[in-house]
C-alpha cells in the first residue's frame, strides 16, 4: 500500500486561488517572522476535490496573557487549546472530510483584552485510502482509515499522521476492537506495530474469546521498543468472524510500554460461502441434464442448411 499523497497550503503570507481568510489582518512582521492578527472569531474557507485528512498547524502568541482557542471544521469539533502567555506553542487539530466546500472556524479569547498574533497557519490536505481495492479472483483488501469504511475500529485514538504515513494509537490496557465488514469471509488481517516506550506483546481474540496467534516478523516473547513489527493473523478457517479484539501486555506489568502505534492495518476478504451456490448431487445432476439439452439445441441451430435427410 503506497504512502498517502499530501499537499501543504502555507497561509502565513498568502492564500491560493479559491481559499478565503475571514477575520484576519494582512501580513505583518515582528522583524523576524511574518504573522497575522486574528479577530476573536475567524475563518478559513476552502474546497477539496475528494475525501481528505485535514491537518491544520496553528500557533497563537500573546506576550502577557494566556490565550484559549476553540477550533471546528464544518460540524466537527476539533478541540479546545491553551496557549501560555509569552510562549510559542503549536497545535495540530485534524479531521476527515468528504469532497466539497469546508470551513475551519476559530474562536480566540484572553481573560482581558490582549493582542493575539497568529504565526504558523498551514493546512495539509492528505489523500485517504480507498475503502477497499480488488486484488483479483474476488479477493479484496479493506482499510479502516478510509472515510465511512465498514472495516472499523473502536478503542483507538483517532487517525493521525506522522508526516509520511497514517497510524492509530492504543493508549490503554483495555481491549480495542476491529469490526469486520459484514457478508465477507476474512482471510487475513495485517498490521504493523511499534512502541517507543517499552517492550510489549499483543493478545488477539475473537469477540467470543477464541484466541488467535499472530505470525510476527520478529520472534520475541516481548517485542522490543523502537522496532516495527509486522503482525499477520490467518483467518481463512474462521467463517462467521465479525470482530477482532486486541489487548496490550507490557513487559514487567503496568502501562509503561504505551502507547502502541498501529500502521498499515488492512483486512483481506473473499465473498462469504453463504453467498455462493452449493452444488449438492441432485443440483449437479439437474445442471448436467440442462447442459446436455442446451448443447443439443445449439447443435441443431448450427446444422448446415443443405444437410440431406
| Domain boundary pick from 127, 156, 179 | 127
Same structural domain, 139 and 270: yes
Q: Is 118 contained in some domain? A: yes
| Domain boundary pick from 73, 96, 127 | 127
pLDDT bin (cut points 50, 70, 90) of residue 288 is low
Same structural domain, 270 and 138: yes
Alpha-carbon distances of 53 from 4, 77, 117, rounded to whole Å: 10, 15, 26
Q: Is 40 contained in some domain? A: yes
pLDDT at 287 over 90: no
Q: How far apart are CA 108 and CA 23, in angstroms?
A: 11
Least confident of 5-9, 186-190, 207-211: 207-211
Same structural domain, 122 and 175: no
Same structural domain, 157 and 249: yes
Q: Is 285 contained in some domain? A: no
pLDDT bin (cut points 50, 70, 90) of residue 275 is very low
**Phi, psi torsion values for 121, nearest 5 degrees:** -145, 95
Least confident of 75-89, 165-179, 264-278, 294-308: 294-308
Q: How far apart are CA 104 and CA 79, in angstroms?
A: 12
pLDDT at 134 over 80: yes
* pLDDT at 222 (0 to 100): 95
Q: Is 307 contained in some domain? A: no
**Count of other CB atoms within 10 angstroms of residue 113:** 9
pLDDT at 211 over 70: yes
Same structural domain, 97 and 193: no
DSSP secondary structure string for all residues of 150-170:
SSEEESSPPPEE-SSSEEEEE
In this prediction, residues 218-244 reach a mean pLDDT of 90
Return the C-alpha torsion angle 111, 113, 117, 123, nearest 10.
Answer: 60
| Domain boundary pick from 127, 153, 186 | 127
Average pLDDT, the chain: 87
In this prediction, residues 158-179 reach a mean pLDDT of 93
In this prediction, residues 18-44 reach a mean pLDDT of 92
* pLDDT at 290 (0 to 100): 57
Same structural domain, 21 and 106: yes
The percentage of the chain sitting over the pLDDT mark of 70, rounded to a whole number, equals 87
Query: Do the Cβ atoms of 231 and 265 come closer than 8 Å?
Result: no
Alpha-carbon distances of 117 from 102, 163, 180, rounded to whole Å: 24, 26, 47
pLDDT at 129 over 50: yes
pLDDT at 291 over 70: no
pLDDT bin (cut points 50, 70, 90) of residue 172 is very high
Q: Is 291 contained in some domain? A: no
How many distinct structural domains can be found in the chain?
A: 2
In this prediction, residues 144-162 reach a mean pLDDT of 91
Same structural domain, 113 and 64: yes
* pLDDT at 121 (0 to 100): 86
pLDDT at 278 over 50: no
291: left (phi over 0), alpha (psi -120 to 50) or beta: alpha
3-state secondary structure of 63: coil
pLDDT at 226 over 50: yes
Q: How far apart are CA 57 and CA 238, in angstroms?
A: 44
**CATH code, 11:** 2.60.120.260
More confident residue, 176 or 278: 176
DSSP secondary structure string for all residues of 96-131:
EE-SEEEEEEEEEE-SS----EEEEEEEEEEE---S
Containing domain of residue 246, as a range? 132-274
Same structural domain, 91 and 147: no
pLDDT at 256 over 70: yes
Same structural domain, 74 and 155: no
More confident residue, 110 or 280: 110
Alpha-carbon distances of 73 from 55, 94, 106, 118, 159, rounded to whole Å: 10, 9, 9, 18, 15
Amino acid at each position: 500500500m503506497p504512502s498517502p499523497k499530501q499537499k501543504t497550503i502555507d497561509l502565513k503570507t498568502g492564500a491560493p486561488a479559491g481559499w478565503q481568510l475571514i477575520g484576519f489582518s494582512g501580513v505583518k512582521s515582528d522583524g523576524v517572522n511574518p504573522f497575522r492578527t486574528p479577530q476573536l472569531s475567524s475563518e478559513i474557507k476552502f474546497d477539496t476535490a475528494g475525501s481528505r485528512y485535514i491537518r491544520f498547524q496553528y500557533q497563537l502568541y500573546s506576550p502577557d496573557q494566556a490565550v484559549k482557542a476553540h477550533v471546528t471544521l464544518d460540524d466537527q469539533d476539533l478541540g479546545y487549546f491553551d496557549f501560555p502567555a509569552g510562549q510559542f506553542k503549536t497545535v495540530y487539530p485534524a479531521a476527515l472530510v468528504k469532497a466539497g466546500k469546508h470551513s475551519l472556524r476559530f474562536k480566540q479569547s484572553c481573560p482581558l483584552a490582549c493582542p493575539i498574533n497568529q504565526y504558523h497557519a498551514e493546512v495539509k490536505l492528505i489523500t485517504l485510502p480507498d475503502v477497499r481495492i480488488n486484488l483479483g479472483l474476488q479477493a479484496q483488501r479493506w482499510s479502516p482509515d478510509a472515510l465511512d469504511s465498514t472495516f472499523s475500529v473502536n478503542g483507538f485514538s483517532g487517525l493521525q499522521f506522522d508526516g509520511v504515513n497514517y497510524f492509530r494509537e492504543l493508549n490503554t490496557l483495555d481491549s480495542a476492537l476491529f469490526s469486520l465488514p459484514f457478508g465477507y469471509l476474512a482471510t487475513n488481517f495485517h498490521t504493523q506495530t511499534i512502541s517507543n516506550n517499552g517492550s510489549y506483546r499483543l493478545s488477539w481474540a475473537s469477540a467470543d474469546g477464541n484466541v488467535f496467534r499472530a505470525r510476527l516478523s520478529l520472534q520475541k516473547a516481548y517485542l522490543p521498543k523502537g522496532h516495527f513489527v509486522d503482525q499477520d493473523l490467518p483467518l481463512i478457517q474462521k467463517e462467521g468472524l465479525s470482530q477482532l479484539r486486541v489487548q496490550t501486555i507490557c513487559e514487567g506489568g503496568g502501562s509503561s510500554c504505551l502507547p502502541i502505534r498501529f500502521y498499515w492495518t488492512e483486512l483481506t476478504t473473499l465473498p462469504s460461502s453463504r453467498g455462493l451456490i452449493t452444488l449438492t448431487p441432485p443440483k449437479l445432476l439437474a445442471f448436467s441434464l440442462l447442459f446436455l439439452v442446451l448443447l443439443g439445441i445449439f447443435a441443431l441451430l448450427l446444422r448446415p442448411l443443405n444437410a440431406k435427410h
